A and B are shown apart, each in its own frame.
Chain A
Amino acid sequence: MIRFVVRRTLLGAVVMWLITLLVFGMFFIAPNNVAETLAGKQATPETVALISHRLGLDRPLLEQYGDFLWNALHGNLGYDYYHGQSVTSMLAAAAPVSISLALGAAVIWTLLGVTNGVVSAVRPGSAVDRGLTFFALFFYSMPSFLLGLLLLTVFYYRFTLAGLDWFPAAGYAPLSAGVGEWARHLVLPWIALAMLSAAIYTRLTRGAMLDALGEDYIRTARSKGITERRVVLRHGLRSALTPVVTQLGIDLGTVVGGLVVTETVFGLPGLGKTSVDAINNQDLPVIIGVVLVTSAAVVIASIVVDIAYAVLDPRVRLN
């Protein structure tokens, strides 16, 4: 087991290293005119050279990469080109927003998806099942930015017109402002981010439940006279949850893309918005920082999932 954990972690480190190479290479091989942009339109070549020198952009590429890697390993992701702010502290400020958004959405999509999936699987082929299947496909097909804008149109604009000032159009309220205020700002973004995954989890749970309910031990449980409710929830759902847990671990890592869109639509100052702003400004240290941190989240989540899987399911072979 320990060997497995060590191997898996080392592999994750290799993946992370490859990602630093890829990101760094991408930005420095591509034509990069950040010094000219910063210097302004009428700058002399000397000014441009000076700025380039101050940002360290005139040093050999390998040296820049070495420094960057060394600093990153010490928790320093560099300084942004425009205000000299520490990227690490920028990301630390943005992270709580993204984490609030991602975790809240995860709770919604898991509860909604698992409930729908179980209800669907108890009576396969019924009107309820077909209704939920269409529900799942509908939200699976719905681009999250479109859903976000629809939510804003109805629940912000129409409600406010009707005198119901329940949801704000944009912005974030930290937990320190009170749980109610925090949730009020996040409800619509949570729903916008959660529905796609809720659709996937509905179908995933339905399939796993149908498999589980066909097993012999379910028949045994029924023949013992246990209530149907108990059979479904205790015996069926328990084994059906394994694939759901796996998926959850993967999704918490890859939810990053959804964050970019949702934070843009709802004006939330999280990692996604930070990265979009940085990309528009060609602020390389910030972009690289966000990509690294979010990739690390994906890599760590996948390691945790693999280990959890090995612990939960004794049939998984550790090599």
Chain B
Amino acid sequence: MSPEATETAAAGEIKGRSPWALSWHRLRRDRVAMLSLTVIAAILLMAVFAPVVAAVTGHPPNTQYHSAGLTPDGLPRGPNSTFWLGTDDLGRDLLVRIAYGARVSLLVGVAATALAVLVGVVVGLAAGFFGGVIDTILARFVDVVLSFPFLLFAISLVSITGPSLGISILVIGLFSWASVARIVRGQVLSVREREFVEAARSLGASSWRIMVIDILPNVLAPVIVYTSLLIPVVIVTQATLSFLGLGIPPPTADWGGMIATAQNYYTTAWWYILFPGLALLVTTLAFNLFGDGVRDAFDPRARPTLSMRPGRPS
């Protein structure tokens, strides 16, 4: 008797669960993943309610407090009852600016990742499904993009266009899709020879329908895993661009830019570099731990290595 038949026989008591439900169930039971999800939710709340943080402290993010926020020598003030995490070099409230900075990190992290995944899935699907000349051209193009020193290219491009939020998303997104495309292509190559694709074709389904309805759902699991691991890499890349002065133009608060200015004050104002740095580190760590949980849940056969992780962020 085949396993399917056994299952049908027992179906009276046992509720069938889809692979997605099973993965979700596994993820729910992963305590580290749930804890990091809580941290991510907290950072998200901080970003969404940044204006509330500003209202509670009474300090708008870009207001400079020249007398209350700076020492008589014009240096940042350490944490105190007015400025809970201290002030920056212009006498602005560090806590409020960190809350606003979370908006930039999360927005770029999610938007650039979404762009990369979208482009990568489309290119990977097309290359794997159509094969032949299309595949050769697309695969070579992926090779070129992957062999490009990304950070150099990104900073050159931003130096031409001038830094902005949109440019950051575009540059990071358009240079992160290649690995997604490579993964999807590999999956499509193995799925497209399977019987159910042949069945769909013999029923007269169009290429378009086969790609979207039959193949895409079967290659989604590794894409989801890769997406969750790509977000923290994108956040670090965005912070790196900002650190190099090519992220978000001032006075908008963002963590990389804050750390860049803070490096001139690390001898006099430890809080200035510590708190934005901690915010960035906790965020990427939480996303990475969560991504690990997602991988274990959605791809339990994969051995726990960092080998399929996105390349070095810089």
Contact = CB atoms under 8 A, between A and B. Distances in A.
B244 A136 contact: no
B166 to A, nearest CB: 16
Contacts of B140: 11, 14-15
Interface in A98-142: 136-138, 140-142
Contacts of B240: 143-145, 261
A211 interface: yes
Q: Give the interface SS of chain A, mostly helix, strand, loop or mixed.
A: helix
Nearest to A146: B277
A290 interface: yes
Interface centre among A207, A279, A280, A287 (most CB of B within 10 A): A279
Contacts of B262: 149
Interface in B59-89: none
Contacts of B304: 203, 206-207
Contact of A294 (B143, B152, B159, B305): B152
A150 B262 CA distance: 12
A30 B313 contact: no
A217 interface: no
Interface stretch (B108-116, B196-204, B265-273): B265-273
A26 interface: yes
A149 B284 contact: no
B239 interface: yes
Interface string B137-152: 0001001100111111
A53 B116 CA distance: 41
B305 A298 contact: no
A167 to B, nearest CB: 14
A22 B236 CA distance: 25
B156 interface: yes
B155 A276 contact: yes
A152 interface: yes
A299 B51 CA distance: 48
A255 B151 CA distance: 10
Interface in A133-180: 136-138, 140-146, 149-150, 152-153, 157
B55 interface: no
B152 A275 contact: yes
Contact of A279 (B155, B267, B287, B306): B155
Contact of B147 (A27, A141, A299): A299
A302 interface: yes
A149 B292 CA distance: 27
Interface string B151-170: 11101110111000000000
A265 to B, nearest CB: 8
B interface residue count range (under 10 / 10 to 19 / 20 to 34 / 35 or more):
35 or more
Given A30-B160, A294-B152, A200 B273 contact: no
B163 to A, nearest CB: 12
Contact of A243 (B144, B292, B307, B309): B307
A253 B155 CA distance: 18
Nearest to B276: A146
A101 B247 CA distance: 26
A141 B148 contact: no
A316 to B, nearest CB: 16
Nearest to A14: B140
A244 B143 CA distance: 21
B159 A251 contact: no
Contacts of B303: 207, 210-211
A294 B151 CA distance: 11
B161 to A, nearest CB: 7
Given A19-B144, A256-B152, A276 B312 contact: no
Given A149-B266, A261-B243, A207 B307 contact: yes
A246 to B, nearest CB: 10
B156 A257 contact: no
A18 interface: yes
A145 B259 CA distance: 9
Contacts of B144: 15, 18-19, 22
Interface in A260-319: 260-261, 264-265, 275-276, 279-280, 282, 287, 290-291, 294-295, 298-299, 302
A254 B312 contact: yes
Contacts of B284: 141-143
A31 B160 CA distance: 8
B305 A26 contact: no
B281 A257 contact: no
Contact of B312 (A23, A31, A157, A197): A197
Closest 8 CB pairs of A and B: A207-B305, A257-B314, A257-B151, A203-B306, A141-B284, A141-B285, A30-B160, A256-B149
Given A251-B312, A275-B152, A298-B148, 19 more contacts: A18-B144, A22-B148, A26-B156, A138-B285, A141-B281, A141-B288, A143-B256, A143-B281, A143-B284, A146-B277, A149-B277, A199-B306, A200-B306, A206-B304, A207-B305, A257-B151, A257-B313, A257-B314, A298-B147
30 contacts: A23-B156, A26-B156, A27-B156, A30-B161, A136-B306, A140-B309, A141-B281, A142-B284, A143-B281, A144-B240, A145-B256, A146-B259, A196-B313, A197-B312, A200-B307, A204-B306, A253-B147, A254-B149, A257-B314, A260-B151, A260-B314, A261-B240, A264-B244, A275-B152, A275-B155, A276-B244, A279-B155, A298-B147, A299-B147, A302-B147
